[in-house]
Amino acid sequence: MTLHLSGVLKRSLVDQSGDRLGRVVDLIARMEGAPHPPVTGLVVRIGGRELFVPIDKITGLEGGRPVVFAGKSVDLRRFERRPGELLLGRDLSARHLINLGGGRLIRANEIELACVNGRWEVIGVDPTSRPFLRRLLRRSTGPAKAVVDWASIEPFVAHVPTARLRIPYRKLARLHPAQIADLVEAASHEEGEEIIEAVRHDEKLEADVFEELDTDHQLEFIRNRSDAEAARLLASMAPDDAADLIAEVDQERRLPILQLLPEDRQHKLQALLSYNPETAGGLMSPDFVYLGAAASAREALQAVRENEAPPEALSALFVRDEEGRLQGQVSVVEVVKAPAEALVGALVSESRAAHVHPEWDLGATVRKMSDFNLTVAPVLDHDHREILGVVTIDDVVELLLPSGFRRDYGLTAPEE
C-alpha cells in the first residue's frame, strides 16, 4: 500500500483509548545506506513540545483516521535530530531534489511511502501537480504514474547541517559533466555550491563541469574561492576554456591567479589571451599531436597515448613535410586501421592541409571547417610554417547556438 506524506502530516495522535494526545508534525527517515530509506519515527507536538515517537510504537498510519500511539508512555524530552536523519516534510517537501536517472532537478511535491515487509520506507517522489489537485479536491486523482523511484533521487541537504549528509560524489559521477553543469545552472546558489562541493575532490571532473558552465555561473562559483583554489581549478581545465574564464575574472585578481599557475600553463594562457576570444586564435587549444611524415602508425598512436590534450583535439593528427610545413591531417581511426609500420605521411593527401588563421572570425572558421568536413582545424601562422593550435568542432558549436539555448529548450529547467 502506498501512503502520501501529506496524508500523515497534521493528523491527530491519540492513545489506544482514542483520547487525543497531540498531532503529527513530521516523519523521520534515516538516509544512509538503503536505496529506500526507512522511516524511523514521528515528530509529534504534545502540549507545545515537539517529541520523538519511534515508528514501532505507532499504528494506523495507512488510514485517514487519527494515528494511534501504541506505547505505554511518551518520552517527554524534546526532539533532537540525530546525524543522518532527515525530516521528510520540513527538509524535502516542495524542495528541489536531483533525479540522477534523468540528470534533472525535480520538486518534491509529494513524498511516497510504502510498508515493505512490515517496515515503512520512502519509495518515491511525485514532482507533478497531482498532489496539489488531490489536496484541493480531497480525493484521489488516479495512479501516480510520474512518481520517481527514490533509489534514483539525491536530496540537497546543505541547508540541514545537523543531518551531516552531503551529495555523494559516486552518484554524481555517473552523469556527464554537461548534465552536472545543467543541474548547477538550474539550482539555487546554495544547491549549486553543494553539487560543486560533491565533485571537488575529483579535479578532472570538477574542471569538466566548470568548462560546461556558462560564464555567469563560472564567475559565481569562482568568486568565493581563494586565488590558490582558482589557480588549481584553471590548471585542470582545458587551456582555451581556462583562458576564456580568466579573461572574465575581475582584473585585480587576474594576474595573481595567473602567477600561481605552472609556468608552462601561464605561457599557454597568456598566448591565448592575446587573441580576440571569438576568433580562431581565441578559440583554439594549444595542445595537439604534430608528427613528421616519416613517423609510423605505431609511433603516432604512442604519441596520442602520451599527449594530455582533450580527446576531441586528438581525434586528428597533424603531419609535417620535410621542410616542416603542414602536409595535412589524418584521423586516429585511419591510423588505427593502418599497418603498424605504415608511414603517416602516406596516409595524408594534399587536400587535407586545410587550415585557418588566428585572426579569422567565427564565420570564416566555420565555413572552412564545413567546406572541408573538419572536426579539428589547425590554426597556422601567416608564414604557414607553424601550427599555433587547433579549433575543434565543440569549440564553435556553442557559439553558434543562440544565447540562453539551455533555458529556452528546457535543458536546465527544473522538472516540475
CATH 2.30.30.240 fits 2-86, yes or no: yes
Of 121, 91, 84, 86, nearest to 108 by C-alpha is 91
Write out pLDDT tens, residues 189-205.
Answer: 888 998 999 998 899 99
Query: Which residues belong to CATH 2.30.30.240 in the chain?
Result: 2-86
Query: What's 90's DSSP letter?
Result: I
What pLDDT sits at residue 184? 93
Pairing of strands 12-14, 67-69: parallel
> For residues 199 and 172, is the Cβ–Cβ distance under 8 A?
yes
> For residues 21 and 78, is the Cβ–Cβ distance under 8 A?
no
What pLDDT sits at residue 23? 95
> For residues 303 and 291, is the Cβ–Cβ distance under 8 A?
yes
What pLDDT sits at residue 142? 46
What pLDDT sits at residue 169? 84
Q: Is the pTM of this model over 0.95?
A: no
Strand order in the sheet with 110-116: 2-4, 110-116, 119-126, 148-149
Whose grid coordinates read 593550435?
389
What string of H, E and C letters represents the secondary structure of 315-348? Answer: CEEEEECCCCCEEEEEEHHHHHHCCCCCEHHHHC
Angle (nearest 5°) at CA 213 between 211 and 219 = 95
State the distance between the two ends of the chain, measured CA to CA, in whole angstroms. 25
Which residue ranges of the chain lie beneath pLDDT 70? 130-145, 158-165, 350-352, 402-416
What pLDDT sits at residue 136? 47
Q: How far apart are CA 231 and CA 257, in angstroms?
A: 5
What pLDDT sits at residue 10? 93
CATH number among 1.10.10.10, 3.40.50.300, 3.10.580.10, 3.40.50.10260, domain 283-399: 3.10.580.10
How many Cβ atoms are within 10 Å of 367's Cβ, its own excluded? Answer: 12
